[in-house]
Amino acid sequence: MNYLMKFNIMKKSGIIFFIFFLAISVSCIAQPQGRGAEFKKEAKEKIEALRKAYINDKLDLTESEASSFWPIYREFKQKEKEIMKNARPSKENRKPLKDMTEAEAEAFINKEIQVEEQKLALKKEYIAKLKNAIPMKKLVRLRRAEKSFRTEVLKRMKNKRDQIRERRNDGEHRDED
């Protein structure tokens, strides 16, 4: 077996391990055991660790690329999160669409456009920084990796939720017998 074949086998087994680990983590997220805020924090940390491993794998980052990429990427994500947090209306200012006036609806749309412009400006700024850390082809793969990770997490969460509902429904039907 040549080196390339061994590397591909190791890479595939790493991906399988990651998906297994992801499934276990998502199952923990789907069943909180009543720990509240502490549980949410732990779940977010686990997901972020999984995201990092997944992106590292998909981008095939070298050690030097990873050491310069991750601080920039974390800073970008933090600023993106701040933009989204500031964009959310406070509970007092939330209004159902049916209760909005035309002027309020227009202000809402204008705010959405402003947020999208802020996100685009941020993205441009950080692409300029990231292209000094990793090659452009890896930046293209980054977007795909983020999307596939998000899709995988959502799919796992949905499957887990469906399994929980099935168990609950099976229990209800047994009680009727």
Domain extent listing, the chain: 1-61+137-177, 64-133
Residue range 31-75, pLDDT digits in tens: 555 567 888 888 889 989 999 999 999 999 999 999 999 999 999
Output the pLDDT for position 40.
Answer: 85
Q: What is the DSSP string of the chain?
A: --HHHHHHHHHHHHHHHHHHHHHHHHHHHH--TT-HHHHHHHHHHHHHHHHHHHHHHHHT--HHHHHHHHHHHHHHHHHHHHHHHHHSPPGGG---GGG--HHHHHHHHHHHHHHHHHHHHHHHHHHHHHTTTS-HHHHHHHHHHHHHHHHHHHHHHHHHHHHHHHHHHHHHHHHH-
Rounded Cα distance between 18 and 46, Å, is 12
> Does position 97 have pLDDT exceeding 90, yes or no?
no
> Does position 24 have pLDDT exceeding 60, yes or no?
no
Rounded Cα distance between 52 and 63, Å, is 13
> Does position 102 have pLDDT exceeding 90, yes or no?
yes
> In the chain, what percentage of residues exceed pLDDT 70?
74
Contacts of 52 (CB under 8 A, 6+ apart): 70
Output the pLDDT for position 108.
Answer: 87
> In the chain, what percentage of residues exceed pLDDT 90?
50
**Between 32 and 114, residue with greater pLDDT:** 114
